[in-house]
């Protein structure tokens, strides 16, 4: 592009230069050549800015392209002949290629870090984080066991509250850290599979490792939601709140709960210990951690035959321990329920309504205790199921590691090449930018025709019907062009282009062209192009960050130069140490990458220019029109141009209409609520299908769509949290932004996603049970006894869609809006004394515990929905034309009133 633009500029110069013109006129400033170069610069800056916004993966190559075209087109009007233009471009290209070659050589030869090494390092960190998360969960359960008895002298103390808050914070921190590692693993998996390497595990093995880690992540992070469940009063978890006194009539009930929870705590401690050893066993077998030089002493009580981490038979030992855990806990729960006279775990308040206050029925107290015990048993089954699922997932990766040792994969290294399908997907990803979505045609198979729902088809257009012929189909494709040109991405590209040219125009005017080149104003253009942000809050952050880091770069260049009195050897030696300092912080704090690189570039340009002048001389260094400055003047000039560029970028971010973090946050929140409605609908359809049908093409497409929605939802939630962090940098007019309300909604959205993912994961046991005819009889009977779909889930889906529309459009909510509270996965008819489907004798039936998990998650999900409704009402209001008056005429004691005003609602 630069070669084409400069050639066009030279031809424009030739056509507008009169024959026989003097060399000063022929080689001097030419308005036509300047205009042509300016047009090419505008076009290239616009295109690369749109591409960077559309495909963030091209950010680094886009920055290099931006610098190249800016330098090329700024100096383009000076080139009077094609020969000089090609000579200039050759030197510019060689300088870029030299830098690329040096960086490539260093990355391959000096302490090389391959993508596979990064992936395995993250795998190690993920498994080690799992160990830490299990210990954090165990610590939280131990703290909870202190309050299980409900004795205020044990629980209602400042030390207990402090310990509880500390354990909750540690648990949530460990869980969020593990989720972040899981997301990073997913991103780096693609690069690890592409690489040509010399190692142990093949591409298929890496893919399998990632799948096994993902299977661990869902239940182990789901188990961390117990901290959130403990805070919800409807779960009757057993935590004593401050200033709460237990009722004397419930002393036996509390003692029974303490007995149950203490047994659970002891069982958890045993399983967590063996899982911790199992993860260490996996790390040792896969060579992710070094083997210990000396073996740990054996357990005298357990005997010398107990396998240790690293022994090939450790997987059998883990499997036996997991089976013992399930068997012992089943016996313990059945015994506890029998002692309490609880025949079913699925008691419900809707099934047993509370009697009126004027009735003194002792049986109602028994029913209430049954309901509380049932809900507590729900939570216990919830915890045990997720811990058992975590143990099974860890057992799977243990078996995988042992199989790789047994088949000789870990014995020797070999050359590993990417598969053909991987190469094809690389090309498709670069072209399409995304995986193809679900097909929109009807699916035929197994003798039936399945028609896809609207969410599995192409989204409908309220202004256009589906095309009926080729002409209408072509028109649909053509309509995509103006739609794209009106998108936020293109508008951002236009802002960047205008911001660049607001200063860059000086390079193409006769009176300012020489000044522009002489004072190196091109540095300001580069900072505008690479540092401009789409929103005002992040623009303030980038402006201050780039300016501060450039200041440090200027100070660093002074120290680098003057601490050795400008001696070239000393300057070069300490130059490497300063670069090490810069990029250490760039790697440690990637959020400040652009700002730190701006500071490093200041140091490099200032020191590099001074050393260059020493080699080539001042005359050659100033041949391009740049003025020579000593280092004590050059560094402030660099700071001034960078600060000016950042300020101009900020001005064009807020002018003419600012794009605030608040507006982007509200838009993303509305989209996220709508995605949550889609995710809830997809999970509900998944659960119903797994209960009634074997896995087929329909379920696979539904699973793919569900994972796609979940990935988008996670990206949106992370984006909203990032925008929240930038709100403090945003200058505001008027009232404060309701940051706490948005934060509350985002937290509840995260909880909703967690619980829906747990529901989807728990329902997986229905599918595996149906694959075995010998164990699917009970599940089939349960599936026939409940509705095909959950009515409450459909109401919540509609409610979420309504909330999304209200947030996006700023419209008030309809009155009396509440989420359904009677969310039941099982039917009330199954809890009758005559029905034995949900009897506790069926506790070991495959899928029984999964039903309890789903019901707990549904209750918490409905609770979060009500909180979201309250928050959204606080944001957009409610359609309510009623008014209230206080009648004070009867409030006076002189008139015989009771002294209290009466409120009337109209």
* Spatial distance between the Cα atoms of 220 and 207, rounded to a whole number of angstroms: 20
Q: Are residues 121 and 90 in the same domain?
A: no
Q: Are residues 651 and 672 in the same domain?
A: no
Q: Are residues 52 and 184 in the same domain?
A: no
* Spatial distance between the Cα atoms of 807 and 231, rounded to a whole number of angstroms: 27
Pairing of strands 197-199, 414-416: antiparallel
| Among candidate residues 597, 626, 659, the one where a domain is terminated | 659
* Spatial distance between the Cα atoms of 144 and 871, rounded to a whole number of angstroms: 29
Q: Is residue 441 part of a domain?
A: no
Task: Read off φ and ψ for residue 834, nearest 5 degrees.
Answer: -75, -25
Q: Under the phi-then-psi rule, with left for phi > 0, alpha for psi from -120 to 50, and beta for the rest, what region is 150? A: left
Q: Taking Cα atoms as reference points, which of 339, 29, 217, 195 lies closest to residue 757?
A: 217
Q: Taking Cα atoms as reference points, which of 9, 72, 4 lies closest to residue 35?
A: 9
Q: Are residues 187 and 100 in the same domain?
A: no
- Which two three-digit tokens encode residue 29? 């400033």
- Which two three-digit tokens encode residue 528? 């505008």
Polymer length of the chain: 906
Q: Is residue 772 part of a domain?
A: yes
pLDDT of res. 375: 74
Q: Are residues 730 and 817 in the same domain?
A: yes
**Angle made by CA atoms 159, 162, 167, in degrees to the nearest 5:** 125
| Among candidate residues 615, 636, 659, the one where a domain is terminated | 659
Q: Is residue 248 part of a domain?
A: no
Q: How would you label 471-495 residue by residue, b for 16+ Cβ within 10 Å and e otherwise?
A: eeeeeeeeeeeeeeeeeebbbbbeb
pLDDT of res. 902: 53
Q: Are residues 132 and 45 in the same domain?
A: no
Q: Under the phi-then-psi rule, with left for phi > 0, alpha for psi from -120 to 50, and beta for the rest, what region is 20? A: left
Can you give the pTM of this predicted structure?
Answer: 0.80
Place of tokens 């042992």: 402
Q: Are residues 283 and 405 in the same domain?
A: yes
- Give the total number of structural domains in the chain: 4
Q: Are residues 76 and 153 in the same domain?
A: no
The domain in which residue 708 lies consists of 661-880
* Spatial distance between the Cα atoms of 335 and 256, rounded to a whole number of angstroms: 12
Q: Are residues 548 and 597 in the same domain?
A: yes
- Which two three-digit tokens encode residue 856? 């707990």
Contact 219, 386 (CB under 8 A): yes
pLDDT of res. 625: 84
Contact 683, 706 (CB under 8 A): yes
Burial of 16 (0-12, 13-18, 19+ CB in 10 A): exposed
Contact 546, 594 (CB under 8 A): yes
Q: Taking Cα atoms as reference points, which of 11, 210, 22 lies closest to residue 126?
A: 210
Pairing of strands 443-445, 902-905: unpaired
* Spatial distance between the Cα atoms of 345 and 431, rounded to a whole number of angstroms: 54
Q: Is 878 helix (H, G, I), strand (E, B) or coil?
A: strand
Q: Is residue 829 part of a domain?
A: yes
Contact 338, 407 (CB under 8 A): no
Contact 600, 583 (CB under 8 A): yes
pLDDT of res. 21: 83
Q: Is omega for the bond preceding 656 within 30 degrees of 0, making it cis?
A: yes
* Spatial distance between the Cα atoms of 246 and 261, rounded to a whole number of angstroms: 17
Identify the CATH number of the domain in which residue 312 sits: 1.20.58.220
CA 240 to chain centre: 34
Q: Are residues 57 and 140 in the same domain?
A: no
Q: Are residues 14 and 24 in the same domain?
A: yes
| Among candidate residues 424, 447, 469, the one where a domain is terminated | 424
Chunk the chain into consecutive blocks of 10 residues (it has 906) and report each block's average pLDDT, rounded to whole numbers.
Answer: 93 89 85 94 94 84 92 92 92 93 89 87 93 89 68 57 83 87 85 85 90 92 86 55 45 60 83 93 91 58 70 89 89 79 58 43 52 75 90 94 90 84 71 44 35 54 82 84 83 93 94 91 91 83 91 95 93 94 90 89 93 91 88 92 92 84 90 93 87 73 86 87 86 85 93 92 83 70 67 83 92 82 58 59 80 87 90 89 59 43 52
The residues, ordered by sequence, that sit 6+ positions from 466 with a Cβ below 8 Å of its Cβ are none
Q: How far is CA 726 from CA 49, 68, 509, 623, 692, in A?
A: 22, 31, 38, 45, 48
Q: Is residue 296 part of a domain?
A: no
Q: Is residue 482 part of a domain?
A: no
Q: Please provide the DSSP assignment of 231-256 as one string.
A: T-GGG---PPPTT----GGGHHHHHH
Q: Is residue 900 part of a domain?
A: no
Q: How far is CA 600 from CA 555, 611, 640, 839, in A?
A: 11, 16, 16, 69
Q: How far is CA 433 from CA 61, 87, 145, 881, in A?
A: 16, 37, 50, 50
Gap between the terminal Cα atoms of the chain: 72
Q: Are residues 100 and 157 in the same domain?
A: no
Q: How far is CA 484 from CA 481, 493, 522, in A?
A: 5, 12, 31
Q: How would you label 387-396 residue by residue, b for 16+ Cβ within 10 Å and e otherwise?
A: bbbbbbbbbb
Q: Is residue 176 part of a domain?
A: yes
């Amino acid at each position: 592009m630069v070669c084409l633009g400069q050639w066009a500029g030279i031809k424009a110069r030739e056509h507008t230069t009169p024959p026989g013109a003097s060399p000063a006129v022929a080689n001097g400033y030419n308005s036509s050549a300047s205009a042509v170069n300016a047009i090419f610069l505008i076009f290239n800056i616009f295109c690369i800015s749109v591409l960077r916004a559309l495909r963030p993966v091209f950010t680094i190559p886009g920055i290099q392209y931006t610098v190249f075209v800016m330098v090329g087109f700024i100096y383009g009007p000076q080139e009077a002949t094609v020969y000089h233009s090609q000579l200039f471009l050759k030197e510019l290209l060689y300088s870029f290629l030299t830098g690329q070659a040096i960086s490539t050589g260093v990355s391959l030869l000096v302490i090389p870090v391959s993508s596979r090494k990064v992936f395995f390092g993250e795998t190690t960190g993920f498994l080690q984080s799992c160990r830490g998360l299990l210990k954090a969960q165990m610590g939280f359960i131990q703290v909870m066991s202190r309050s299980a008895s409900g004795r205020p002298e044990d629980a209602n103390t400042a030390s207990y509250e402090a310990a509880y808050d500390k354990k909750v914070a540690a648990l949530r921190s460990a869980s969020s850290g593990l989720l972040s590692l899981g997301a990073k693993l997913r991103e780096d998996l693609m690069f690890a599979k592409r690489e040509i390497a010399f190692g142990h595990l093949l591409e298929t093995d890496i893919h399998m490792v990632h799948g096994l880690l993902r299977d661990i992540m869902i239940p182990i992070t789901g188990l961390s939601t117990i901290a959130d469940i403990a805070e919800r009063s409807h779960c009757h978890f057993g935590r004593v709140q401050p200033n709460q006194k237990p009722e004397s009539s419930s002393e036996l009930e509390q003692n029974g709960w303490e007995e149950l929870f203490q047994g659970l705590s002891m069982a958890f401690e045993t399983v967590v210990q063996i899982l911790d050893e199992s993860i260490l066993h996996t790390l040792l077998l896969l060579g992710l951690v070094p083997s210990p030089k000396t073996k740990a002493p054996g357990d005298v009580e357990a005997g010398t035959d107990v396998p240790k981490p690293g022994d090939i038979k450790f997987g059998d030992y883990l499997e036996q321990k997991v089976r013992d855990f399930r068997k012992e806990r089943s016996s313990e729960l059945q015994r506890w329920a029998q002692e309490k006279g609880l025949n079913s775990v699925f008691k419900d308040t809707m099934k047993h309504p509370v009697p009126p206050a004027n009735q003194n029925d002792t049986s109602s107290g028994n029913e209430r205790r049954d309901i509380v015990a049932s809900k507590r048993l729900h939570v216990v089954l919830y915890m045990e199921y997720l811990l058992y699922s975590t143990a099974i997932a860890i057992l799977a990766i243990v078996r995988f590691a042992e199989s790789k040792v047994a088949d000789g994969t870990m014995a020797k290294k070999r050359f590993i090449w990417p598969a053909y399908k991987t190469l094809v997907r690389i090309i498709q990803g670069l072209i399409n930018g995304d995986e193809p979505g679900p097909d929109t045609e009807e699916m035929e198979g197994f003798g039936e025709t399945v028609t896809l729902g609207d969410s599995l088809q192409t989204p409908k257009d309220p202004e256009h019907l589906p095309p009926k012929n080729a002409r209408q189909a072509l028109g649909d494709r053509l309509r995509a062009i103006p739609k794209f040109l009106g998108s936020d991405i293109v508008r951002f590209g236009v802002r960047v282009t205008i911001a660049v040219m607001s200063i860059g125009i000086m390079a193409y005017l006769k009176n300012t062209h020489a000044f522009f080149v002489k004072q190196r104003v091109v540095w300001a253009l580069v900072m505008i192009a690479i540092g401009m942000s789409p929103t005002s809050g992040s623009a303030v952050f980038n402006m201050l960050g780039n300016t501060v880091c450039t200041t440090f770069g200027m100070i660093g260049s002074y120290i680098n130069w003057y601490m050795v009195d400008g001696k070239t050897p000393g300057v070069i030696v300490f130059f490497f140490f300063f670069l090490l300092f810069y990029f250490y912080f760039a790697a440690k704090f990637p959020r400040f990458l652009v700002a730190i690189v701006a500071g490093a570039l200041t140091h490099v340009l200032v020191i590099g220019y001074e050393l260059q002048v020493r080699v080539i001389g001042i005359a050659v260094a100033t041949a391009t029109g740049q003025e020579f400055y000593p280092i004590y003047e050059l560094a402030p000039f660099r700071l001034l141009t960078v600060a000016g560029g950042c300020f101009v970028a900020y001005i064009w971010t807020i002018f003419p209409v600012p794009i605030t973090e608040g507006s982007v946050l509200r838009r993303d929140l509305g989209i996220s609520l709508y995605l949550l409605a889609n995710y809830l609908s997809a999970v509900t359809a998944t659960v119903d299908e797994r209960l009634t049908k074997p896995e087929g093409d329909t379920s696979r497409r539904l699973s793919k769509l569900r994972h796609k929605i979940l990935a988008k939802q996670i990206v949106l939630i992370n984006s909203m949290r990032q925008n929240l962090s930038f709100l403090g940098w945003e200058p505001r007019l008027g009232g404060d932004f309701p940051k706490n309300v948005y934060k509350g909604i985002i937290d509840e959205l995260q909880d909703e996603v967690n619980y829906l993912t747990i529901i989807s994961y728990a329902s997986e046991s229905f599918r595996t049970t149906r694959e075995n005819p010998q164990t699917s009889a009970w599940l089939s009977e349960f599936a026939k006894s409940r509705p095909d779909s959950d009515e409450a889930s459909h109401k919540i889906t509609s409610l979420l869609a309504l909330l999304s529309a209200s947030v996006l459009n700023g419209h008030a909510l309809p009155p009396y809006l509440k989420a359904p509270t009677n969310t039941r996965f099982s039917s009330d008819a199954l809890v009758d004394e005559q029905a034995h489907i949900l009897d506790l004798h069926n506790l070991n039936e495959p899928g029984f515990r999964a039903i309890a998990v789903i019901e707990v998650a549904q209750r918490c999900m409905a609770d979060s929905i009500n909180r979201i409704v309250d928050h959204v009402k606080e944001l957009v209001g409610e359609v309510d034309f009623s008014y209230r008056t206080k009648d004070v005429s009867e409030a006076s004691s002189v008139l015989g009133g009771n002294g209290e005003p009466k409120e009337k609602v109209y």
